């Protein structure tokens, strides 16, 4: 058979450990690698930062009000300056990472999970079921998200848990609509038809054939949404119905620093930078993941392996 | 030297891709004279379109790079001209038409506007251009051109769109018309009409016609000379007759040998055996539109029944309703005595094992995110009664070998294979369920001629070894002639004629079948000339 000769017959990929393979692929994409390290640092801060630096971060020092950054003669926690009550910014950012991450991760994960599930159902069921789900999404979309949040948090106590619920509900339609639209397109593809001809169940088609194709798109949206949720949380905190001081989040820190923008830019700048870097890192990682998950594109991450190894 | 209208000398083009440099064409030379038709013949990846793209300045640089060569048009080297000069030539003196007219017509402008745009772009006044556009539309045979001039592309049929593309190309009375697979996306009868039109227009205007094609039949029909290309190099040049009858290069010989429609026809099967599938008066309606009406046919065990017809004839609808991808609105389909149309889900699930399907485009019918092992073994996941899990690897390996691949291909992904290999994988997947009947929906249409021949050989071998029955849906008559035992001809949702292959091809009864046969192209220029005469007779009879 002439056409089988176009590929060398002996090329069974050496079965390296999957974890090692993933690390190798991450190493190929240097930007994604840096991003992964940054995310790990953030996660570490979120897990262990609060108990370690809690006391330092809440200790007021009125003589060090709005202390300027880069004063290396001071204690290291003051290197990024101090806030309006003289509390060290660096320590506060580290401590705030816990609440910030909890709210953002929680809200994004919940809305991603619910939105995707509903989207898959809406895309693959009868017209009637799809209509009901989509109209529900329209209801949520047509309601200003901030207004919804204000009403709900006014009735419920403003806590991290409630904040997550409110933010998640307002973001569900984004995932729902995207996944439904993609499902509607993918379900008509030939390989789905082929699976149906083989007798594959609906579950199998949805989870094995459709979801893996939709997933990278949704993850990309989720990482973008991460920033949105952090900022939405800060505006709620600013209105006084989000996280309540003395609890802190990055968004709240940005909001608190707003009054001093002209005199002490660092109050808002450093937490803002933390938000930007986190979202940027997540974006780079999701971009890397999209390539790594796609067998057609994966060679881009594997090609360097040959020349380096 | 202005000996030739267009001369390509020693052209080499490279493409720099992430996987290394690809030499798309190497040292290619050919020429084209006024009033002449030159065909560049080659399979996919042979570089047949690259030199035409270079002439039209359509190669993106980078990643493309014209390494060496000259493109002499009227004695001037196109490669030494400025972009402005070349733009002036493009469309005015050298025009091009493409394979898929729908994607090359802008859906938001009227066709009249698009045809006259070529002329206004080269400086004609608007009203003059519009008058000429109307004239051209009439010339290329658009009925009621005056009413249709303000219609949008989607309001025309595929053949008409290609006519519009031709009208657009002819706007400035070009010296050279480059046609890149102009009829590949069209039905055979429409293809014949378009080729006739191109020939007539060429005779009128004495333009040089450069035809890029993979189809020897098209070459035989219109070309004066032919250039055969294989992996970026010219392997053979000569007149169409000469190349067909006395090919010198092994590749050309292989190509000509692979062309279907010249072999022995199969003997009809003994009809005394009980049919495996019996379709009775099956119908399918989409709202008020009837896609399929009163279709009745039978398939015997070990038999190949071909369903031929042009697009919209209902042949794919028949396959879909048969496999319950769509529900039939009337009639019955008895598979070994059980009705597929009314069968409940559980019974249907069991039957999925026995009736399988191979789709047209293997690029789309294989999930790009699953490895070959996952794709084939999915059959065992869905139907666990076939095999215990520990035997899966061995069985997948065996299936791959059965379809002419090998075990090392198991952990690769579909995109790492060529089109022919992918179709083999799709066949292996169908075989994994151990079916008795395989529905092939245009299963080889997307493949190159030589690969087509290999896949057909494979299907034949599997039929002998496993006693499979095929329901083979195709639009390519020569292919069917070699492969099928019986042929069913469909038109407009109805079966117009059916019978043993020899009867359909040698003594067709219906006019539609005769038209279809007359329109299909034969690779031998001499046979084709006779066929064309026959076609013209048929036309005159109408």
Please spell the DSSP secondary structure of B105-158, one letter per residue.
Answer: S-TTS-HHHHHHHHHHHTT--HHHHHHHHHHHHHHTT-TTHHHHTT--GGGS-H
Q: Which residues of A touch B451 (CB under 8 A)?
A: 3
Domain A20-308 has CATH 1.10.3720.10: yes
Instruction: List, in order, residues 6 or more apart from B356 with CB less than 8 Å away.
Output: A197, A198, B430, B431, B433, B435, B437, B438, B439
Kindly state the tokens that stand for A12: 């069974």
A82-100: pLDDT as tens digits: 777 778 888 888 888 888 8
List the one residue out of B173, B4, B177 whose CA is nearest residue B74. B4
Gap between the Cα atoms of B470 and B452, Å rounded: 16
> Over chain B, what is the mean pLDDT?
85
Per DSSP (E only), the strands in B442-540 are 469-474, 486-491, 494-500
End-to-end Cα, chain B, rounded Å: 49
The SS3 assignment for B364 reads helix
- Per-residue pLDDT averaged across B379-401, rounded? 88
Q: Cα–Cα distance between A218 and A174 in angstroms, integer? A: 9
Which chain B residues are Cβ-neighbours of A12 within 8 angstroms?
Answer: 408, 410-411
In chain B, which residues have their Cβ closer than 8 Å to the Cβ of A204? Answer: 381-382
pLDDT tens string B393-432: 899 998 998 888 888 888 888 888 888 888 889 999 999 9
- d(CA B221, CA B218) in angstroms, rounded, equals 5
What is d(CA B194, CA B179) in angstroms, rounded to the nearest whole number?
11
Chains A, B: CB contacts within 8 A come to 96
Helix runs in chain A, H state only: 18-28, 30-44, 50-58, 89-124, 127-142, 145-155, 160-186, 190-198, 202-204, 211-238, 250-257, 266-293, 299-308
Model pLDDT, residue A40 = 92
How many Å apart are CA B52 and CA B180, to the nearest integer? 8
What is the share, in percent, of chain B residues with pLDDT greater than 90? 5
What value, to the nearest 5°, has the Cα angle with vertex B354 and ends B352 and B360? 75
Distance of CA A37 to the CA centre of its chain: 15
How far apart, in whole angstroms, are the C-alpha atoms of residue B333 and residue B277? 7
Q: Of A7-21, A36-50, A110-124, B142-156, which range is least confident?
A: A7-21
Instruction: Give the pLDDT band (50/70/90) at residue B72.
Output: confident
User: What pairing do the DSSP bridges indicate for beta strands B494-500 and B486-491?
Assistant: antiparallel
The pLDDT score that the predictor gives to residue A141 is 85
pLDDT at residue A165 greater than cutoff 50: yes
Structure token pair of residue B345: 């889900």
**H or E stretch at B253:** helix B250-258
B536 is written with which tokens? 């013209």
- Look at residues B204, B248, B205 and name the one whose alpha carbon lies nearest to residue B226: B248
With an 8 Å Cβ cutoff, are B359 and A193 in contact?
yes
Q: For B89-103, B258-272, B519-533, which range has the lowest pLDDT when averaged over its residues?
A: B258-272
- Provide the pLDDT for residue A109: 93
In what helix (H) or strand (E) does residue B104 lie, and over which residues does it extend?
Answer: helix B101-104
> Does residue A124 contact residue A187 with C-beta atoms inside 8 Å?
yes
Among partner residues A4, A191, A197, which is closest to B404 by beta-carbon distance? Answer: A4
What is residue B434's DSSP assignment?
A: -
Spans of all domains in chain B = 6-258, 277-507
Chain B residues close to A2, C-beta within 8 Å: 450, 454
The A-side interface with B (CB below 8 A) comprises 1-4, 6-7, 9-13, 189-191, 193-201, 204, 208-209, 212-213, 293-296, 299-300, 303
Chain B residues whose CB is inside 8 A of the A16 CB are none
Beta bridge mates, B184: none
- Residue A2 predicted with pLDDT over 60: no
Q: Looking at the partner chain, which of A1, A197, A299 has a beta carbon nearest the beta carbon of B357? A: A197
- Collect all residues with Cβ–Cβ distance below 8 Å to B133 and sequence separation of at least 6: B112, B115, B116, B119, B149, B167, B171
Q: Which pLDDT value is given to residue A306?
A: 42
DSSP B284-323: EEETTEEEEEEEEEEE-TT-EEEEE--TTSSHHHHHHHHT
Model pLDDT, residue A107: 92
Minimal CA separation from A293 to chain B, in Å: 8
Answer yes or no: are the C-beta atoms of B216 and B256 closer than 8 Å: yes
Arithmetic mean of pLDDT over chain A = 81
Rg (CA), chain A: 24
How far is CA B45 from each of CA B29, B39, B54, B260, B280, rounded to the nearest angstrom? 18, 16, 16, 21, 44
At a CB cut-off of 8 Å and minimum separation 6, what does B521 contact? B188, B191, B192, B215, B216, B217, B218, B220, B221, B528, B531
The verdict on a CB contact (< 8 Å) between B365 and A294 is no
Which residue in chain B has the smallest CA separation from A1? B404
A140 vs A147: CA distance, rounded Å: 11
The per-residue pLDDT for B1 is 45
Residue-wise pLDDT for B40-53, tens only, equals 988 877 888 888 88
Euclidean distance between CA atoms A191 and B413, whole angstroms: 14
First to last CA, chain A: 34
pLDDT tens-digit readout, A104-133: 899 999 999 999 999 999 888 878 888 888
Torsion of CA B464, B467, B469, B473, to 10 degrees: -30
- The Cα of B376 is separated from the nearest Cα of chain A by a number of Å equal to 11
Cut 0.90: pTM above it: no
The alpha carbon of residue A291 is apart from the nearest alpha carbon of chain B, in Å, by 12
How far CA B226 is from CA of A195, B36, B177, B238, in Å, comes to 44, 11, 16, 6
Amino acid A1: pLDDT: 38
Which of A13, A197, A295 is facing B356, going by the closest CB pair? Answer: A197
- Whether B359 sits inside 8 A of A194 (CB atoms) is yes
d(CA A134, CA A177) in angstroms, rounded, equals: 8
- The rounded distance, in Å, linking the Cα atoms of B523 and B444 is 18
User: Searching chain A, which residue's CA lies closest to the CA of residue B451?
Assistant: A3
pLDDT for the residue A7: 41
How many Cβ atoms are within 10 Å of A160's Cβ, its own excluded? 17
Mean pLDDT, range B484-495, rounded to an integer: 89
Q: Summarize pLDDT for A262-283 with one digit per residue, the tens.
A: 888 888 888 888 888 888 898 8
Query: What is B277-507's CATH topology?
Result: Rossmann fold (3.40.50)
Under DSSP, the state recorded for A68 is P
Instruction: Delimit the domains of chain A by residue range.
Output: 20-308
| % of chain B exceeding 70 in pLDDT | 99
Minimal Cα distance from A201: which residue of B? B382
A303–B352 CB contact, under 8 Å: no
| For testing contact with chain B, the best of A2, A4, A188 (most B CBs within 10 A) | A4
Cβ(B273)–Cβ(B300) below 8 Å: yes
Mean pLDDT for A32-58 is 85
Taking 80 as the threshold, does the pLDDT of residue B341 lie above it?
A: yes
Radius of gyration from C-alpha coordinates of chain B: 25
Task: For the beta carbon of residue B293, count every other beta carbon within 10 angstroms.
Answer: 18
Which pairing describes strands B37-41 and B225-230: parallel, antiparallel, or unpaired?
parallel
- Residue A19 corresponds to which tokens in the numbers above? 């974890």
Structure tokens at A309: 């190894």
Residues of A whose CB is below 8 A from B378: 195, 198, 200, 208
Q: Is the pLDDT of residue A13 over 60?
A: no
Model confidence at A305, pLDDT cuts 50, 70, 90, reads: very low
Considering only CB atoms, which chain A residues are within 8 Å of B361?
A: 190
Cα dihedral: B486, B491, B493, B497 (round 10):
-40
> What CATH fold (topology level) applies to the domain B6-258?
Rossmann fold (3.40.50)
Residue A10: other Cβ atoms inside 10 A = 7
Structure tokens at B393: 């690897």
Q: DSSP letter at A192?
A: H
Cβ–Cβ under 8 Å, residues B499 and B279: no
B222 pLDDT above the threshold of 90? no
CB contact under 8 A, A3 and B454: yes
Which of B361, B408, B433 faces A12 most closely, judged by CB atoms? B408
pLDDT tens-digit readout, B19-41: 677 788 888 888 888 888 999 98
| pLDDT of B85 higher than 50 | yes
User: Distance from CA of residue B290 to its chain's centroid?
Assistant: 26
Token pair belonging to A139: 């209801």
């Amino acid at each position: 058979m002439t056409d089988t000769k176009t590929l060398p017959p002996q090329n069974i990929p050496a079965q390296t450990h999957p974890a090692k393979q993933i690390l190798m692929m991450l190493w190929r994409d240097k930007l994604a690698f840096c991003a992964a390290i940054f995310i790990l640092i953030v996660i570490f801060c979120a897990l262990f930062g609060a108990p370690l630096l809690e006391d330092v971060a809440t200790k007021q020092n009125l003589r060090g009000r709005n202390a300027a950054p880069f004063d290396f003669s001071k204690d290291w926690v003051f290197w990024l300056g101090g806030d309006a009550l003289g509390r060290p910014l660096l320590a506060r950012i580290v401590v705030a990472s816990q609440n910030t991450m909890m709210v953002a991760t929680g809200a994004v994960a919940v809305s991603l999970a619910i939105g995707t599930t509903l989207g898959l159902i809406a895309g693959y069921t009868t017209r009637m079921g799809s209509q009901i789900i989509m109209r529900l999404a329209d209801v949520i979309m047509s309601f200003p998200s901030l207004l919804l949040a204000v009403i709900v948090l006014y009735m419920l106590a403003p806590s991290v848990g409630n904040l997550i619920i409110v933010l998640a509900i307002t973001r569900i339609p984004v995932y729902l609509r995207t996944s439904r639209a993609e499902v509607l397109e993918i379900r008509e593809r030939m390989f789905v038809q082929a699976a149906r001809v083989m007798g594959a169940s609906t579950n199998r088609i949805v989870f094995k054939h459709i979801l893996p194709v939709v997933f990278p798109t949704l993850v990309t949206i989720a990482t973008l949404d991460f920033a949105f949720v952090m900022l939405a949380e800060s505006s709620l905190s600013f209105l006084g119905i989000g996280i309540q001081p003395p609890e802190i989040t990055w968004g709240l820190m940005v909001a608190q620093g707003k009054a001093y923008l002209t005199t002490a830019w660092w109050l808002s700048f450093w937490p803002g930078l933390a938000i930007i870097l986190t979202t940027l890192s997540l974006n780079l990682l999701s971009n890397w993941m999209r390539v790594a998950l796609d067998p057609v594109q994966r060679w881009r991450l594997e090609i360097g392996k040959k020349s380096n190894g | 030297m202005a000996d030739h209208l267009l001369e390509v000398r020693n052209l080499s083009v490279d493409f720099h891709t992430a996987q290394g440099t690809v030499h798309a064409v190497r040292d290619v030379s050919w020429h084209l004279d006024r009033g002449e038709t030159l065909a560049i013949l080659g399979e996919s990846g042979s570089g047949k379109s690259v030199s035409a793209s270079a002439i039209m300045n359509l190669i993106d640089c980078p990643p493309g790079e014209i390494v060496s060569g000259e493109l002499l048009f009227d004695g001037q080297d196109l490669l030494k001209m400025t972009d402005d000069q070349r733009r002036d030539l493009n469309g005015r003196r050298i025009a091009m038409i493409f394979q898929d007219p729908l994607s090359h017509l802008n859906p938001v402008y009227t066709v009249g506007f698009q045809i006259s745009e070529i002329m206004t772009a080269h400086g004609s006044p608007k009203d003059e251009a519009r008058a000429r556009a109307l004239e051209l539309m009439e010339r290329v045979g658009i009925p009621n051109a005056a009413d249709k001039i303000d219609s949008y592309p989607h309001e025309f049929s595929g053949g008409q769109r290609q006519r519009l593309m031709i009208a657009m190309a002819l706007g400035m009375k070009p010296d050279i018309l480059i046609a890149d697979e102009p009829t590949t996306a069209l039905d055979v009868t429409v293809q014949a009409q378009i080729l006739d039109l191109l020939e007539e227009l060429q005779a009128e205007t004495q333009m040089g016609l450069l035809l890029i094609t993979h189809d020897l039949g098209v070459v035989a029909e219109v070309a004066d000379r032919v250039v055969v290309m294989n992996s970026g190099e010219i392997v053979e040049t000569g007149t169409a007759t000469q190349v067909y009858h006395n090919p010198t290069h092994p590749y050309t010989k292989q190509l000509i040998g692979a062309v279907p429609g010249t072999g022995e026809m199969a003997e009809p099967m003994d009809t005394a055996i009980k049919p495996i599938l019996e379709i009775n008066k099956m119908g399918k309606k989409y709202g008020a539109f009837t896609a399929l009406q009163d279709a009745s046919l039978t398939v015997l065990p070990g038999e190949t029944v071909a369903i031929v017809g042009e697009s919209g004839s209902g042949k794919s609808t028949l396959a879909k309703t048969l496999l319950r991808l769509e529900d039939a609105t009337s009639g019955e389909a008895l598979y070994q005595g059980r009705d597929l149309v009314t069968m409940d889900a559980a019974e249907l699930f069991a039957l999925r094992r026995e009736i399988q399907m191979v789709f047209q485009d293997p690029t789309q019918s294989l999930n790009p995110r699953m490895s070959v092992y996952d794709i084939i073994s999915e059959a065992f996941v869905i139907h666990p009664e076939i095999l215990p899990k520990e035997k899966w690897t061995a069985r997948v390996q065996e299936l791959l070998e059965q379809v002419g691949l090998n075990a090392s291909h198991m952990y690769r992904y579909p995109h790492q294979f060529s089109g022919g290999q992918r179709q083999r994988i799709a066949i292996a997947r169908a075989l994994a369920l151990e079916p008795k009947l395989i529905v092939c929906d245009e299963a080889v249409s997307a493949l190159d001629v030589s690969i087509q021949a290999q896949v057909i050989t494979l299907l034949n071998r599997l039929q002998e070894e496993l006693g499979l029955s095929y329901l083979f849906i195709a639009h390519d008559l020569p292919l069917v002639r070699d492969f099928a035992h019986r042929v069913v001809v469909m038109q407009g949702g109805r079966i117009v004629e059916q019978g043993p292959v020899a009867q359909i091809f040698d003594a067709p009864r219906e006019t539609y079948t005769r038209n279809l046969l007359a329109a299909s192209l034969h690779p031998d220029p001499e046979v084709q000339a006779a066929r064309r005469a026959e076609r013209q007779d048929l036309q005159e009879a109408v």
